[in-house]
Structure 1
Amino acid sequence: MKPLEGIQVIELGAFIAGPFATRILADFGAQVIKVESPNGDQIRTWGLSQDGGDSYWSRVQMRNKRSIAIDLHQEAGREVVRKLIRSADVVIENFKPGTLEKWNLSHDEMKALNPRLIVTSVTGYGQTGPYRERPGFGNIAESMGGLRAVTGFPDRPPVRVGLSIGDSVAALYAVIGTLMALYHRDVKDAKAGQVVDVALYESVFSLMEGLLPEYVHEGSIRERQGNTLKAAAPSNVYPTLDEKWLAIGANSHTLFQKLMRLMNRDDLAADPALSDNPGRVANVDRLDAAISEWTKQHTCAELVDALAEAGIPGGPIYDMADIYADPHFRAREMFVSVSGQNGKELVMPGVVPKLTQTPGGITWAGPDCGADTHAIMGQLGYSDEQIDELDKLGAIHCAVS
């Protein structure tokens, strides 16, 4: 039994943040119905694909969900959504504020249909404030939330993380907020649901550690600093004999002493200038140069083993080929094979986190757009004739009739 079995979730929206949140809920048993346009979520065309079909990313993002294709610009399509809402526990949506209002599907109107409904909204800037109506994507949130300002090297332009990190962090907050709202409704017996308001820029901003009080009270603005850690040292990536890169985190006094002994650098271990963290931060260039000189004399694998034996955190910089070859990922079931398009094997990332009593799982890869339209509408009470008529009008799309 998965922990969220029996929870009915309606996904309204597209792209990344909202669908990523519902993917997590679906992994743990929630019954997720993805409402997408008859043309399909645009993520179906993002990236590489299997045999020219929908993208691999979309098959991962839509796993364990059912797809109903509805044209929300048509009233007949919106009426189908209203029927879905009446029996749902959660709606997760990531439309720009004002969009649902234009379709008479505002948060208040949804709550009127179902007072126990939890509406989780993921937007660029939230439901209030002067920027609420601005369009917002994850890359803008990463910029305005402060992440880009501290990412990269000081003599180069700000850089983006190579993934949609802003959307993903917002999705995690959407899941957290949804689960808290469900707990409040069901365990605390609140009887009524509520709105969970998640803003992309706030989700990124929440990761900014102590940067806000450092600025307000000390006038300090953290700058881009490459791979170093301004608050503690040594913590960096270092070159190896076999031309790989190794991350080492020895940024506590005990770990620093262990690393210096492993390097046979008792002189640095005993250096008064390096006896505390502020001193090591002030001398980080000298310290990193010494560590680099040591790592360049050994292969990455040798260093990983030596650091582990000494109890010092260290690990290689992996690309996806390295990850897929690593036995620990495999032992932790982080590569899961499911049946993909045309019955072909499709490997996708495993479920996070691991629950000992009620673990999540992957039952199927993302469906074709509208694959479940006919079945779901039949469950809502529509006759075959009504479904066919709406399909002809373009209010819905049935991939399987």
Structure 2
Amino acid sequence: MPSTPKPQGALHGVRILDMATVLAAPVGATLCADHGAEVVKLELPDGSDALRGLQPVKNGVPLWWKVANRGKQGITLDVRKPKGREILLSMLPEFDVLVENFRTGTMARWGLDTETLHRANPRLIVIRLTGFGQTGPYKERPGFARIFEAMSGFTNLTGEAGGPPLHSNYPIGDYIAGLFCAFAIAMEVARLRGDPEAPGTEVDLAATEALFRLLDPLPVEHEQMDFVRGPSGNRASYTAPSNMYRSRDGVWLSLVASSNAIFARTCDAVGLAGWASDPRFATNPARVENLDELDGALVRWFAGHDYAHIAGKLEAGGIPFSKVYSIEDIRSDPHFAERGAIVRMADPELGSVPGPCIVPRVAGHEPAIPRTGPSPGEHNEAIYGRFGLGPEELALLREQKVI
């Protein structure tokens, strides 16, 4: 019999205290919340997290904050103050994971080094996500996504050949580090679930290393072939054809025909009969070597036809391609619509807002749609009430600007 779908994800029962700022580490905690973890977002009492000021902001409402911190409860606490530190340590036994992303050594200066945290909860998983790690000469450097992207070698792969490197108009470095953060949490939770006596740990996650980890061939091709991979525009230097092409009616498409079989079908679709067996193009290394001639022919064919004709030919040939989508295209595409790729999250200020669906999809599990990220201290009473702090004490803590 098929199992009954349940709203609880694999991380149900895991409690995460997210005291990180801006994007990378908070996104890691958010991904865990998507899969059932209970995440409490800890902010300073003044709500000064920089993400609240990043565009898009509509009439003072921080839209990016709301979607990036979805599914979390929010409290305020100034852990730099003695009373705030005391409250934090008193709460830690109720949490499985603490996520932070302050510069290396900052938490220790506040009296919250790993040893102190583990005295409060010996099984605590402490995720320290920084730009460059807990050791090394750059350990105390500040950093943002574009810095990680530049230093990892990632940005050196973008842009036109001979031109300047290009950043994407999106902090992809933060989100990749966030994925590794979520992976680290799941990895360590699995370890502790497998051994009730196992101690907690400290995870040293460097965002620059997270990006570099995805660039597998760079070190080996440099050592073995003395090759430094650089930008090549929309072309790929490792496979061909793989480029961006413009139709006669001005539509940009991305096409990839890496395998010999797909290349042969591409040749049939675009009228390059015999090219698949031509020694200059019969294998991928040969196609890369003779890319100028190959790409020139493809550019001319695409420029000579409207998008509808091109799409029909490529679809009929089973050739991997896509129009370059904007968010308008994504919202109107029937495939995204049927799969529910955009979900609506309840929001106390805006009613509801759209955001990406929970990924991945797990058989037998229908996750509840999260609500948007909390306002500063929205759940102070509920969360601190668990720890015996009543209205009078909370009022005093507010007056002292501890919460």
TM-score by length of 1: 0.95
Name the CA distance, whole Å, in 1 between partners of 2:128 and 2:204: 5
Residue 64, structure 1, aligned to residue 71, structure 2: yes
Name the CA distance, whole Å, in 2 between partners of 1:44 and 1:334: 25
The residue aligned with 2:223 is: 216
Q: CA deviation at 1:72?
A: 2.3
Name the CA distance, whole Å, in 2 between partners of 1:322 and 1:53: 28
Q: Secondary structure at the match of 1:91?
A: strand
Q: CA deviation at 1:189?
A: 4.0
Name the CA distance, whole Å, in 2 between partners of 1:377 and 1:345: 27
Residue 376, structure 1, aligned to residue 360, structure 2: no
Residue 307, structure 1, aligned to residue 346, structure 2: no
Contact preservation (8 Å) 2:346, 2:370: no
The residue aligned with 1:42 is: 50
Name the CA distance, whole Å, in 1 between partners of 2:196 and 2:83: 35
- CA deviation vs aligned residue, 1:178-218 (integer Å, no higher than 9, x gap): 11111111124452121121101101111113110111222
The residue aligned with 1:354 is: 361
- CA deviation vs aligned residue, 1:40-60 (integer Å, no higher than 9, x gap): 22211211234x233211100
Q: Secondary structure at the match of 2:280?
A: helix
Q: CA deviation at 1:39?
A: 2.0
- CA deviation vs aligned residue, 1:210-234 (integer Å, no higher than 9, x gap): 1101112221111111111111110
- CA deviation vs aligned residue, 1:261-290 (integer Å, no higher than 9, x gap): 111211323322111112110111111111
Contact preservation (8 Å) 1:38, 1:369: yes
Cα 1:82/1:228, change in 2 over 3 Å: same
Of residues 202, 206, 214, the one that matches 2:209 is 202
Name the CA distance, whole Å, in 1 between partners of 2:315 and 2:117: 54
Name the CA distance, whole Å, in 2 between partners of 1:359 and 1:145: 37
The residue aligned with 1:386 is: 393
The residue aligned with 1:193 is: 200
The residue aligned with 2:333 is: 326
The residue aligned with 2:22 is: 15
Paired residue total:
395
The residue aligned with 2:125 is: 118
Amino acid corresponding to residue 12 of structure 1 in structure 2: M
The residue aligned with 1:105 is: 112
State how 1:121-200 maps to structure 2 within 5 Å: 121-200=128-207
Name the CA distance, whole Å, in 2 between partners of 1:85 and 1:363: 24
TM-score by length of 2: 0.95
Contact preservation (8 Å) 2:181, 2:205: yes
Q: CA deviation at 1:343?
A: 4.8
Q: Secondary structure at the match of 1:365?
A: coil
Q: Secondary structure at the match of 1:269?
A: coil
Name the CA distance, whole Å, in 1 between partners of 2:97 and 2:308: 47
> What RMSD over aligned residues (CA atoms) do the two structures have, in Å?
1.4
The residue aligned with 1:83 is: 90
Of residues 227, 241, 249, the one that matches 1:242 is 249
Q: CA deviation at 1:300?
A: 2.5
Cα 1:250/1:83, change in 2 over 3 Å: same
Q: CA deviation at 1:86?
A: 1.6
Name the CA distance, whole Å, in 2 between partners of 1:192 and 1:363: 31
Amino acid corresponding to residue 265 of structure 1 in structure 2: L
Name the CA distance, whole Å, in 2 between partners of 1:289 and 1:239: 12
Which has the larger displacement, 346-355 or 356-365? Answer: 356-365
Cα 1:343/1:237, change in 2 over 3 Å: closer
Which has the larger displacement, 357-366 or 152-161? Answer: 357-366
Amino acid corresponding to residue 42 of structure 1 in structure 2: A
Q: Secondary structure at the match of 1:92?
A: strand
The residue aligned with 1:367 is: 374
The residue aligned with 1:335 is: 342
Q: CA deviation at 1:144?
A: 0.7
The residue aligned with 1:252 is: 259
Name the CA distance, whole Å, in 1 between partners of 2:367 and 2:159: 36
Q: Mind listing any 5+ residue stretches in structure 1 that lack a counterpart? A: 397-401
